[in-house]
Amino acid sequence: MINVTKPFLPPREEYDNYVDGIWKREWLTNNGPLVNELELRLKGYFDVPHLFFVSNGTIAIQLAIRALGLTGDIITTPFSYVATTSSIVWENCNPVFIDICPNTLNLNPALIEKAITPKTSAILATHVYGNPCDIEAIQQVADKYKLRVVYDGAHAFGSKYKGQSVFKYGDVSTISFHATKLFHTIEGGAIITHDAKIAKEIAHMRNFGHDGTEKFYGIGINGKNCEFHAAMGLCNLNYISEVLEKRKLLSIRYDQILKPLKAQKPFIYPDIDFNHAYYALAFETEEQLLKSVEALHGIYVYPRRYFYPSLHTLNYVIPEQQVAVSSDFSSRILCLPLYHDLSFEEVDMIGRALLRAQNY
């Protein structure tokens, strides 16, 4: 059986070495030494001043909204994982969807301005499949209207925009370290900012609002992460270059075998360093997608309709928001299996099955 993804796992003995240290120290959570080490190494990797290791990527978005004090309307994308929208609603804000670009599948900056009202407080955009948004265009609109910018970078580990980590942009960026991601800590995520005042808010909020043992800075939640998850992150960080390179090679192999297929891949601009977090194909019709899924299931291969359905259809958002491009692509886009130890022979097998399903 070949699933759409599979977690990278480091050599067992490397993880066990960290676990032995945890056992000796008996310091399991509450800002332990491995959590601190992981945060420091990730700050260096992304070249950012403030990074907080939290329990997951969803909590990261929720804390970002809280730390920025966002209220009212948040302009966002309907083409993302449900956590992007649910976090906005959970924090008592209103997601205002604008449509996506038909080439990159990211939020369309040209549509932001006409969606802004006096109630708008921020733009929350997703780097879809790890493909960076049009960051400069988004920031121009945000500066003009004095809006905050939050990036959901759940998929974006290792992606760069004009030579810089995508996490160097916006007021706050968030990332997921879930086991399905190319870099993971089993469960986990991070919040990144360049603003020291925002960083101070996040630091308190992720730890119940504590400001010392018997003093509280303000309201907070338990958004911390533990030493065991940090240990997995520290192990995996040693292999990240190898992981990124293998995914690139597998994606090139898919490109080669699927060249005859009439399907669209998200466009990657030349000034982008793409991390190959996903291999996504938009078929010409939903019927062709369903036929392809059936063919792959027949050989025990399980791709994913990612993202489906378009988030404007959720039953807890304002209805009748018109996002035709997102509706269209969500119905006919499919992510193929892509993970570190997927073999080139397996890629060839998947490619041949897709070509047969479409009568090539």
pLDDT of residue 320: 75
The residue out of 237, 266, 290 marking a domain boundary is 237
Q: Output the six-digit token pair for 102.
A: 């038909």
**Host domain of residue 25:** 2-98+106-237
Give pTM, 2 decimals. Answer: 0.96
Closest CA to 209 of 224, 219, 199, 194: 219
Residue with tokens 């993804």: 5
Residues 40 and 87 in one domain: yes
Residues 231 and 285 in one domain: no
Q: Output the six-digit token pair for 89.
A: 């609603």
Residues 221 and 340 in one domain: no
pLDDT of residue 216: 86
The answer to whether residues 70 and 91 touch, using CB atoms and an 8 Å cutoff, is: yes
Strand, helix or coil at 12?
helix
- Strands 148-152, 172-176: pairing is parallel
Mean pLDDT for 279-308 is 97
Task: Give me the CATH number covering residue 300.
Answer: 3.90.1150.10
The answer to whether residues 203 and 52 touch, using CB atoms and an 8 Å cutoff, is: yes
Residues 65 and 178 in one domain: yes
Residues 253 and 223 in one domain: no
Q: pLDDT for 191-237, tens place per residue?
A: 999 999 999 999 999 999 898 888 888 899 999 999 999 999 999 99
Q: pLDDT for 80-90, tens place per residue?
A: 999 999 999 99
The answer to whether residues 296 and 352 touch, using CB atoms and an 8 Å cutoff, is: no
Residues 225 and 293 in one domain: no
The residue out of 210, 237, 264 marking a domain boundary is 237
User: Helices 240-257 & 344-357, crossing angle to 10 degrees?
Assistant: 30
The percentage of residues in the chain with a pLDDT greater than 90, rounded to a whole number, is: 95
Residues 259 and 230 in one domain: no
pLDDT at 287 exceeding the cut of 80: yes
Category of 309 on φ-ψ map: left (φ > 0), alpha (ψ -120 to 50) or beta? beta
Residue with tokens 């293998």: 246
Residues 181 and 204 in one domain: yes
Residues 189 and 259 in one domain: no
Q: How confident is the model at residue 319 (pLDDT cuts 50, 70, 90)?
A: confident
pLDDT of residue 214: 82
pLDDT of residue 246: 98
Any residues with CB less than 8 A from the CB of 215 and at least 6 apart, and which? none
Residues 232 and 333 in one domain: no
Closest CA to 149 of 164, 161, 167: 167
Mean pLDDT for 112-139 is 98
The residue out of 237, 271, 299 marking a domain boundary is 237
Residue 44 has phi, psi (to 5 degrees) of -70, -40
The residue ranges of DSSP E strands in the chain, in sequence order, are 2-3, 50-54, 73-76, 94-97, 120-126, 148-152, 160-161, 164-165, 172-176, 189-193, 263-264, 272-273, 279-283, 301-302, 333-336
For residue 335, which amino acid is it? Answer: C
pLDDT of residue 321: 84
pLDDT at 105 exceeding the cut of 80: yes
Residues 347 and 331 in one domain: yes
What does the alpha-carbon distance between residue 322 and residue 248 come to, in Å, rounded to a whole number?
35
pLDDT of residue 249: 98
Task: Give me the CATH number covering residue 44.
Answer: 3.40.640.10
Q: Average pLDDT of the chain?
A: 97
Q: How confident is the model at residue 188 (pLDDT cuts 50, 70, 90)?
A: very high
Q: How confident is the model at residue 27 (pLDDT cuts 50, 70, 90)?
A: very high
Domain count, the chain: 2
Any residues with CB less than 8 A from the CB of 138 and at least 6 apart, and which? 107, 109, 112, 123, 125, 149
Residues 179 and 267 in one domain: no
What does the alpha-carbon distance between residue 115 and residue 100 come to, in Å, rounded to a whole number?
13
Strand, helix or coil at 192?
strand
Q: Output the six-digit token pair for 61.
A: 């978005």
